Amino acid sequence: MGILGSKKFTVTRYTTGTVTDGVESVVVDSTFTIQGSLQPHEVLAGGEANIRLMGGFVDLESSAGMLKIYTATALLTTNEDAGTRADILTYEGEEYEVHNVERHISIIPHYRATLIRRGR
């Protein structure tokens, strides 16, 4: 059984390369297609008040530039300890960085991920 209303999206996965003279080289490890249901992201009072972004927090007063996706594919977030970078999902020509991936193993196993438009 699949996820209701799913469409195909392109995901880019990056690998952190070496650091030379303080400059990190980033390599595109792979680009692949996933099936997922993209939804608007709502910020509710008392809900997700902020999201961790690369060493800092951003206060989310509105959901502008944010989406959520339901997919059967595990997506990666930035993990400085493991040295991984967040996956990037492309939607309507815009790039969205993957944040806060949650795994659900209920009736239809899936992942729910928050996406934030890059450059925000």
Which helix (H) or strand (E) covers residue 51, if one does?
strand 50-53
pLDDT digits (tens, 9 = 90+) for 22-68: 776 667 788 999 999 998 877 655 544 444 444 444 444 445 688 99
Q: Which domains, ranges and CATH numbers included, belong to the chain?
A: 7-117 (2.40.10)
- The confidence band for 15, taking pLDDT boundaries of 50, 70 and 90, is confident
pLDDT digits (tens, 9 = 90+) for 67-108: 999 999 999 998 878 778 899 999 999 999 999 899 998 888
Q: What's the one-letter identity of residue 104?
A: H
- The confidence band for 3, taking pLDDT boundaries of 50, 70 and 90, is low
For residue 36, count CB atoms less than 10 angstroms from its CB and return exposed for 0-12, middle for 13-18, buried for 19 or more.
Answer: buried
What tokens does 65 get? 């530039």
Q: Are 5 and 37 in contact (CB under 8 A)?
A: yes
